[in-house]
Structure 1
Amino acid sequence: MLQFIQNIDNAIILYIQNNMHNPILDRFMIFITTIGNAGAIWIIISSLLILSKKYRKIGFISIFSFLLAVLLGESLLKNIVQRSRPFENFEAIKVLISKPASYSFPSGHSGFAFAVTGVLAKYFRKNRFLLYIFASLMAFSRVYLFVHYPSDVISGAILGLVCSKISFYILDSENNDFNISI
């Protein structure tokens, strides 16, 4: 089963590498992935929400979801699975960004993006489509830039959405004692 998934991952990533790259898209994907480095865009958005009295609760839930994704994805799963990155397995491919030193599975960028987007989409329903498009672009940028396999970003996205659900349950549920009322 794992070899089957690896074969699909290889076919998709090589198709993207061989058929989609162009100078404009290269620059766009580098930009999208760069603003997600270390979760920067999600920390900034969450911090801005926390600064606003009206949106403070949303900011706390989103930063909690982000931190949960860091804990489960970056600290736990990456070190358990220890999957090598695509550029390590296909050394002839030129990588357009600095090569990440951590393991590949799951994608942190995808996990962070969907953890915070899952929260924001609940509270900013009118913008949820755009939020999910942005999170998906960030996830896709990781495959496009040859630093993650498709299954890494899909798993990261699922992990992020699970983190947002856990965050709602812990911080926004009317049935528990942890409900934030700021």
Structure 2
Amino acid sequence: MSLLSIVLSEAIEGLENVGRFWDLGTWEMTFLLWLNSLHGTFIDKVFLVITMLGDKGIVWITSGIVMLFFKKTRRIGIFVILTYGLIGGMNNFIIKKIAIRARPFYDTTIAVYPSAHVLQEYAVATFFGDGLFLGFGEIPDDYSFFSGHTVASIACATMMILHSRKIGIPAVILAVLIAFSRLWHGVHWPTDVLFGAIFAITVTIGLFYLLRFLEPKVMNLLTKIFKKKDRAAIEQ
């Protein structure tokens, strides 16, 4: 059997048995258990609201669109929307599917039960064998590595702070809280968040300089196109 056949065979098995390729370190499980032992009704609700701000990139897309209406922030808005689409898409559609890492609540030692801590419709909570609460909110059905909320939030916040510290600092604080909320809810391993943040920062910085390099070229091209259209309209 060729090496490629073996790899493909293993990949198929991995898709059927999520998380096959990950030797999950006990420190990550220990950390999540400790973190969830701190939960309380009020703080749970706070982090649920925070994590929901990152769902589908709602806070970042909305911020980007709002910035488009103001001349001073229009450029930032365009860059933020592009960042969310490109980097978020890269993570969700490529990296997650390559990594094939199971989320914490898919671990064989964990059983899923309804919980009194459920704070939204159709939500379920996850318990460990010792009864500790590990998460609430709608259970994601995709892979774990990298954390999508973390990548999108850190990437957009990084793009903002590269343009403006005034806008970027609050964005970074919110992004960090969103990333932490994924651990609080137990829907990601610590390394999903940590390496997701590193990936987001690194790629966003590269994208920032790439867009700056391409921006004048694109603007010149658009100017030429519109000038041609204007001339054609005048001639008619």
Structure 1 Cα separation of the partners of residues 75 and 44 of structure 2: 37
TM-fit CA distance, 1:161? 1.3
Residue number among 36, 56, 59 corresponding to 1:41 in the alignment = 59
Within-5 A mapping of 1:65-144: 65-89=83-107, 90-91=110-111, 92-93=127-128, 94=133, 95-144=135-184
Letter paired with 1:102: D
CA-atom RMSD in angstroms: 2.3
Greater Cα offset, 87-96 or 117-126: 87-96
Residue number among 45, 48, 56 corresponding to 1:27 in the alignment = 45
Letter paired with 2:84: F
Can you give the 5+ residue segments of structure 1 that lack an aligned partner in the other structure?
none
Residue number among 72, 76, 95 corresponding to 1:54 in the alignment = 72
Question: Given the superposition, is the C-alpha separation of residues 54 and 126 from structure 1 closer, same or farther in structure 2, using an over 3 Å criterion?
Answer: closer
Structure 2 Cα separation of the partners of residues 179 and 144 of structure 1: 44
Structure 2 Cα separation of the partners of residues 80 and 174 of structure 1: 30
Structure 2 Cα separation of the partners of residues 142 and 15 of structure 1: 14
1:85, 1:103 within 8 Å by CA — same for their partners in 2?
Answer: yes
Greater RCO, CA 8 A, separation 6+: 1
Post-superposition Cα deviations, 1:124-162, rounded to whole Å, max 9, x if no partner, equal 213544322211110000010010011111122122212
1:69, 1:159 within 8 Å by CA — same for their partners in 2?
Answer: no
Aligned residues: 179
Post-superposition Cα deviations, 1:7-31, rounded to whole Å, max 9, x if no partner, equal 221121111012x201111000100
Question: Given the superposition, is the C-alpha separation of residues 42 and 31 from structure 1 closer, same or farther in structure 2, using an over 3 Å criterion?
Answer: same
TM-fit CA distance, 1:163? 3.2
Question: Given the superposition, is the C-alpha separation of residues 127 and 59 from structure 1 closer, same or farther in structure 2, using an over 3 Å criterion?
Answer: closer
Can you give the 5+ residue segments of structure 2 that lack an aligned partner in the other structure?
1-21, 112-126, 224-236
Post-superposition Cα deviations, 1:25-57, rounded to whole Å, max 9, x if no partner, equal 100010001111011111101111122222111
Structure 2 Cα separation of the partners of residues 42 and 126 of structure 1: 16
Post-superposition Cα deviations, 1:43-75, rounded to whole Å, max 9, x if no partner, equal 101111122222111111111111122222101
**Scaled by the length of structure 1, what TM-score is found?**
0.88
Letter paired with 1:16: L
1:64, 1:167 within 8 Å by CA — same for their partners in 2?
Answer: no
**Scaled by the length of structure 2, what TM-score is found?**
0.69
Give percent identity, aligned residues only: 28
